[in-house]
Structure 1
Amino acid sequence: MAVTMTEAAARHVSRYLSRRGKGVGVRLGVKTTGCSGLAYKLEYVDEAVADDVVFEDHGVKVMVDPKSLAYIDGTQLDFVREGLNEGFRFNNPNERDRCGCGESFRV
Protein backbone atom coordinates (compact mmCIF):
# COMPACT_ATOMS: atom_id res chain seq x y z
CA MET A 1 0.00 0.00 0.00
CA ALA A 2 1.44 3.32 -1.03
CA VAL A 3 0.65 6.80 -2.22
CA THR A 4 3.52 8.49 -4.04
CA MET A 5 4.29 11.84 -5.60
CA THR A 6 6.38 12.91 -8.53
CA GLU A 7 9.41 15.11 -8.13
CA ALA A 8 7.44 18.02 -9.66
CA ALA A 9 4.65 17.63 -7.08
CA ALA A 10 7.13 17.38 -4.21
CA ARG A 11 8.94 20.53 -5.40
CA HIS A 12 5.66 22.44 -5.60
CA VAL A 13 4.52 21.35 -2.13
CA SER A 14 7.95 22.12 -0.61
CA ARG A 15 7.98 25.60 -2.13
CA TYR A 16 4.46 26.32 -0.93
CA LEU A 17 5.17 25.12 2.61
CA SER A 18 8.34 27.20 2.68
CA ARG A 19 6.49 30.36 1.60
CA ARG A 20 3.72 29.58 4.05
CA GLY A 21 6.23 29.27 6.87
CA LYS A 22 4.63 26.20 8.43
CA GLY A 23 3.30 22.75 7.61
CA VAL A 24 4.47 19.16 7.49
CA GLY A 25 3.04 18.03 4.14
CA VAL A 26 -0.27 17.39 2.41
CA ARG A 27 -3.33 15.31 3.20
CA LEU A 28 -4.89 13.41 0.32
CA GLY A 29 -8.33 11.91 0.66
CA VAL A 30 -11.67 11.42 -1.02
CA LYS A 31 -15.14 12.77 -0.39
CA THR A 32 -18.54 11.71 -1.72
CA THR A 33 -19.69 14.16 -4.38
CA GLY A 34 -20.21 14.78 -8.08
CA CYS A 35 -21.84 12.73 -10.79
CA SER A 36 -19.46 9.76 -10.49
CA GLY A 37 -19.52 9.50 -6.71
CA LEU A 38 -16.06 10.43 -5.35
CA ALA A 39 -13.81 13.46 -5.59
CA TYR A 40 -10.24 13.99 -4.45
CA LYS A 41 -9.52 16.42 -1.65
CA LEU A 42 -6.07 17.79 -1.04
CA GLU A 43 -5.04 20.14 1.75
CA TYR A 44 -1.86 21.36 3.36
CA VAL A 45 -1.27 19.93 6.83
CA ASP A 46 0.21 21.67 9.84
CA GLU A 47 0.31 18.53 11.96
CA ALA A 48 -0.50 14.86 11.43
CA VAL A 49 -3.56 13.25 12.98
CA ALA A 50 -3.08 10.10 15.06
CA ASP A 51 -4.81 7.73 12.62
CA ASP A 52 -3.20 9.15 9.44
CA VAL A 53 -1.26 6.74 7.27
CA VAL A 54 1.93 8.65 6.38
CA PHE A 55 3.93 8.18 3.19
CA GLU A 56 7.05 10.15 2.29
CA ASP A 57 8.33 10.76 -1.21
CA HIS A 58 11.11 13.15 -2.31
CA GLY A 59 11.26 14.47 1.26
CA VAL A 60 7.56 15.44 1.40
CA LYS A 61 4.96 13.73 3.58
CA VAL A 62 1.59 12.64 2.23
CA MET A 63 -1.00 11.83 4.88
CA VAL A 64 -4.04 9.71 4.08
CA ASP A 65 -6.95 8.85 6.35
CA PRO A 66 -7.53 5.08 6.57
CA LYS A 67 -11.03 5.25 4.99
CA SER A 68 -9.73 7.03 1.87
CA LEU A 69 -6.76 4.70 1.45
CA ALA A 70 -8.93 1.93 0.02
CA TYR A 71 -9.90 4.22 -2.88
CA ILE A 72 -6.51 5.84 -3.54
CA ASP A 73 -3.99 3.10 -2.77
CA GLY A 74 -1.37 3.16 -5.52
CA THR A 75 -2.14 6.76 -6.53
CA GLN A 76 0.66 9.01 -7.73
CA LEU A 77 0.23 12.72 -7.11
CA ASP A 78 1.69 14.85 -9.91
CA PHE A 79 1.90 18.59 -10.53
CA VAL A 80 1.53 19.62 -14.16
CA ARG A 81 1.62 22.81 -16.19
CA GLU A 82 -0.32 22.92 -19.44
CA GLY A 83 -0.23 26.30 -21.13
CA LEU A 84 -1.47 28.86 -18.64
CA ASN A 85 -3.03 26.22 -16.38
CA GLU A 86 -1.30 24.37 -13.59
CA GLY A 87 -2.44 22.03 -10.89
CA PHE A 88 -2.29 18.65 -9.26
CA ARG A 89 -3.13 15.52 -11.23
CA PHE A 90 -4.08 12.23 -9.59
CA ASN A 91 -2.85 9.10 -11.36
CA ASN A 92 -5.03 6.50 -9.63
CA PRO A 93 -4.91 2.89 -10.87
CA ASN A 94 -8.21 2.18 -9.05
CA GLU A 95 -10.18 4.71 -11.09
CA ARG A 96 -12.69 2.96 -13.33
CA ASP A 97 -14.53 5.99 -14.67
CA ARG A 98 -14.35 9.77 -14.51
CA CYS A 99 -17.20 12.21 -15.04
CA GLY A 100 -17.17 14.45 -18.10
CA CYS A 101 -16.37 17.60 -16.13
CA GLY A 102 -13.40 15.91 -14.45
CA GLU A 103 -14.56 16.70 -10.93
CA SER A 104 -15.37 13.20 -9.74
CA PHE A 105 -14.47 9.56 -10.31
CA ARG A 106 -15.66 6.02 -9.62
CA VAL A 107 -13.71 2.96 -8.47
Structure 2
Amino acid sequence: MFSIPGKPPVTITPAAEARIARLMGDRNASGLRIGLKKGGCAGMEYTMELAESANPGDEVVEQGAARVLIAPTAQMFLFGTQIDYASGLLDSGFRFVNPNVTDSCGCGESVRFEPLAGSAAQQNG
Protein backbone atom coordinates (compact mmCIF):
# COMPACT_ATOMS: atom_id res chain seq x y z
CA MET A 1 0.00 0.00 0.00
CA PHE A 2 1.08 3.54 -0.61
CA SER A 3 1.24 4.80 2.95
CA ILE A 4 2.91 7.01 5.47
CA PRO A 5 4.21 5.12 8.51
CA GLY A 6 1.84 5.53 11.44
CA LYS A 7 -0.99 6.94 9.29
CA PRO A 8 -3.86 4.80 7.98
CA PRO A 9 -4.28 4.75 4.18
CA VAL A 10 -7.94 5.77 4.54
CA THR A 11 -9.84 7.39 7.39
CA ILE A 12 -13.29 6.41 8.56
CA THR A 13 -15.72 8.89 10.09
CA PRO A 14 -17.69 7.85 13.18
CA ALA A 15 -20.88 7.63 11.06
CA ALA A 16 -19.18 5.31 8.55
CA GLU A 17 -17.62 3.28 11.35
CA ALA A 18 -21.05 2.69 12.92
CA ARG A 19 -22.66 1.75 9.59
CA ILE A 20 -19.84 -0.61 8.58
CA ALA A 21 -19.90 -2.31 11.99
CA ARG A 22 -23.68 -2.74 11.76
CA LEU A 23 -23.49 -4.21 8.24
CA MET A 24 -20.72 -6.58 9.31
CA GLY A 25 -22.74 -7.73 12.33
CA ASP A 26 -25.98 -8.13 10.39
CA ARG A 27 -24.35 -10.33 7.75
CA ASN A 28 -21.62 -11.96 9.88
CA ALA A 29 -18.96 -10.49 7.57
CA SER A 30 -15.27 -10.04 8.26
CA GLY A 31 -15.14 -6.61 6.63
CA LEU A 32 -16.27 -4.23 3.93
CA ARG A 33 -14.10 -4.53 0.81
CA ILE A 34 -13.78 -1.37 -1.26
CA GLY A 35 -12.30 -1.09 -4.72
CA LEU A 36 -12.64 0.51 -8.14
CA LYS A 37 -13.87 -0.68 -11.52
CA LYS A 38 -14.06 0.88 -14.95
CA GLY A 39 -17.43 2.43 -15.64
CA GLY A 40 -19.64 5.46 -15.38
CA CYS A 41 -19.42 8.68 -17.33
CA ALA A 42 -16.21 9.83 -15.58
CA GLY A 43 -14.39 6.52 -16.09
CA MET A 44 -14.19 4.74 -12.70
CA GLU A 45 -16.72 3.67 -10.07
CA TYR A 46 -16.24 2.72 -6.45
CA THR A 47 -17.17 -0.85 -5.53
CA MET A 48 -18.20 -2.16 -2.13
CA GLU A 49 -19.00 -5.65 -0.91
CA LEU A 50 -19.19 -7.41 2.41
CA ALA A 51 -16.42 -10.00 2.61
CA GLU A 52 -16.06 -13.23 4.55
CA SER A 53 -12.29 -12.76 4.84
CA ALA A 54 -9.42 -10.60 3.63
CA ASN A 55 -7.88 -11.59 0.32
CA PRO A 56 -4.11 -11.77 -0.19
CA GLY A 57 -2.90 -8.26 -0.90
CA ASP A 58 -5.86 -6.50 0.71
CA GLU A 59 -4.90 -3.54 2.90
CA VAL A 60 -6.82 -3.82 6.18
CA VAL A 61 -7.94 -0.74 8.12
CA GLU A 62 -9.62 -1.37 11.46
CA GLN A 63 -11.37 1.24 13.55
CA GLY A 64 -13.50 0.21 16.49
CA ALA A 65 -15.72 -2.63 15.31
CA ALA A 66 -15.39 -1.58 11.65
CA ARG A 67 -13.00 -3.26 9.26
CA VAL A 68 -12.30 -2.00 5.73
CA LEU A 69 -10.47 -4.16 3.20
CA ILE A 70 -8.92 -2.26 0.30
CA ALA A 71 -8.49 -4.26 -2.90
CA PRO A 72 -4.88 -4.22 -4.21
CA THR A 73 -5.78 -2.63 -7.56
CA ALA A 74 -7.48 0.31 -5.79
CA GLN A 75 -4.91 1.04 -3.11
CA MET A 76 -2.95 3.75 -4.91
CA PHE A 77 -6.15 5.55 -5.93
CA LEU A 78 -7.71 5.49 -2.45
CA PHE A 79 -4.72 6.69 -0.39
CA GLY A 80 -5.81 9.67 1.70
CA THR A 81 -9.54 9.05 1.20
CA GLN A 82 -12.06 9.74 3.94
CA ILE A 83 -14.97 7.29 4.07
CA ASP A 84 -18.17 8.83 5.42
CA TYR A 85 -21.78 7.73 5.73
CA ALA A 86 -24.65 10.18 5.38
CA SER A 87 -28.33 9.59 5.92
CA GLY A 88 -30.86 12.01 4.49
CA LEU A 89 -34.48 12.30 3.50
CA LEU A 90 -33.87 11.47 -0.16
CA ASP A 91 -30.84 9.22 -0.03
CA SER A 92 -28.42 7.50 2.30
CA GLY A 93 -25.07 5.96 1.61
CA PHE A 94 -21.33 5.96 1.83
CA ARG A 95 -19.43 8.98 0.57
CA PHE A 96 -15.78 8.99 -0.47
CA VAL A 97 -13.86 12.24 -0.01
CA ASN A 98 -10.87 11.38 -2.19
CA PRO A 99 -8.04 13.90 -2.76
CA ASN A 100 -6.85 11.88 -5.78
CA VAL A 101 -9.99 12.51 -7.86
CA THR A 102 -9.50 14.99 -10.69
CA ASP A 103 -13.08 14.96 -12.01
CA SER A 104 -16.44 13.39 -11.24
CA CYS A 105 -19.78 13.05 -12.97
CA GLY A 106 -22.73 15.24 -12.04
CA CYS A 107 -24.43 12.55 -9.98
CA GLY A 108 -21.22 11.68 -8.12
CA GLU A 109 -21.37 7.99 -9.02
CA SER A 110 -18.17 7.90 -11.05
CA VAL A 111 -14.76 9.56 -10.81
CA ARG A 112 -11.63 10.19 -12.83
CA PHE A 113 -7.98 10.07 -11.77
CA GLU A 114 -4.91 11.55 -13.44
CA PRO A 115 -3.00 8.95 -15.46
CA LEU A 116 0.03 7.61 -13.62
CA ALA A 117 3.43 8.83 -14.80
CA GLY A 118 4.65 6.50 -17.53
CA SER A 119 1.26 4.87 -18.09
CA ALA A 120 0.14 3.92 -21.59
CA ALA A 121 -2.62 6.57 -21.50
CA GLN A 122 -0.10 9.30 -20.74
CA GLN A 123 2.44 8.05 -23.31
CA ASN A 124 -0.20 7.91 -26.06
CA GLY A 125 -1.34 11.47 -25.39
TM-score (norm 1): 0.90
Which letter does structure 1 place at the counterpart of 2:17?
A: A
- Looking at structure 2, the residues matched to 84 and 91 of structure 1 have their Cα atoms a distance apart, in angstroms, of 20
Q: 1:104 aligned to 2:94?
A: no
Q: Could you list the runs of 4 or more consecutive aligned residues of structure 1 that deviate by over 6 angstroms after TM superposition? A: none
- Alignment match, 2:19: 12
- Looking at structure 2, the residues matched to 80 and 6 of structure 1 have their Cα atoms a distance apart, in angstroms, of 10
- Alignment match, 2:43: 37
- Looking at structure 1, the residues matched to 91 and 104 of structure 2 have their Cα atoms a distance apart, in angstroms, of 20
Secondary structure of 2:26's counterpart equals helix
Q: 1:3 aligned to 2:10?
A: yes
Which structure is larger by alpha-carbon Rg, 1 or 2? 2
Q: 1:49 aligned to 2:55?
A: yes
Residue-by-residue CA offset, 1:44-91 (whole Å, 9 max, x unaligned): 111111111111123321111222111111111110012242111011
Q: What residue ranges of structure 2 are gaps of 5+ in the alignment?
A: 4-8, 114-125
The answer on whether the counterparts of 1:38 and 1:105 sit within 8 Å (CA) in structure 2 is yes
- Alignment match, 1:74: 80
Which letter does structure 1 place at the counterpart of 2:35?
A: G
Q: What residue ranges of structure 1 are gaps of 5+ in the alignment?
A: none
TM-score (norm 2): 0.78
Which letter does structure 2 place at the counterpart of 1:15?
A: R
Secondary structure of 1:18's counterpart equals helix
Matched length:
106
- Determine which structure has greater relative contact order: mean sequence separation of CA pairs < 8 Å that are 6+ residues apart, divided by chain length: 1
The answer on whether the counterparts of 2:38 and 2:45 sit within 8 Å (CA) in structure 1 is yes
CA RMSD of aligned residues (A): 1.3
- Amino-acid identity (%): 40
Q: Which has the higher strand share?
A: 1
